Structure 1
Amino acid sequence: RKRTAQPTDQLTSHELHIARLVATGATSREVGARLYLSPRTIEAHLRSIFRKLGINSRRQLRELPLP
């Protein structure tokens, strides 16, 4: 059986974890505290996530089906 490529396949496991947390409505500060990272680091990851997924907002991230 062939697996169809999903946009989220481009994300690293770390980026996918951050994307899931942000999609639930968590702020960069909340995600950073949970993962022991600075909010600025979370923002950098989000820029990469948005670029890879072809989106530009947290709202669009919430609308995506994340595995």
Structure 2
Amino acid sequence: MTAHEPHIARLVATAATSREVAAHLFLSPRTVEAHLRDIFRKLGIASRRQLRELPLP
């Protein structure tokens, strides 16, 4: 994963919305969504719920 992706994954796993994550990291919500698509693909998952169930670095 890239440098931002683990941090985004941890925030999303706490049930934060893309808008909340974006505000916290000073990114746009669209950038967060793009990172999430990459995270889901790299981890072989399809939803935020599955992300919450994974042990994250």
Establish whether TM, by shorter chain, passes 0.5: yes
Taking the aligned partners of 2:26 and 2:3, their CA distance within structure 1 comes to 16
Aligned residues: 57
Taking the aligned partners of 1:60 and 1:19, their CA distance within structure 2 comes to 11
Taking the aligned partners of 1:54 and 1:15, their CA distance within structure 2 comes to 14
Structure 2 unaligned runs (5+)?
Answer: none
Q: TM-score, normalised by structure 1?
A: 0.82
Q: TM-score, normalised by structure 2?
A: 0.96
Q: How does 1:26-45 map to 2 (within 5 A)?
A: 26-45=16-35
Over 3 Å off, 4+ runs = none
Percentage of pairs with the same residue: 82
- Of 3, 8, 11, 1:13 maps to 3
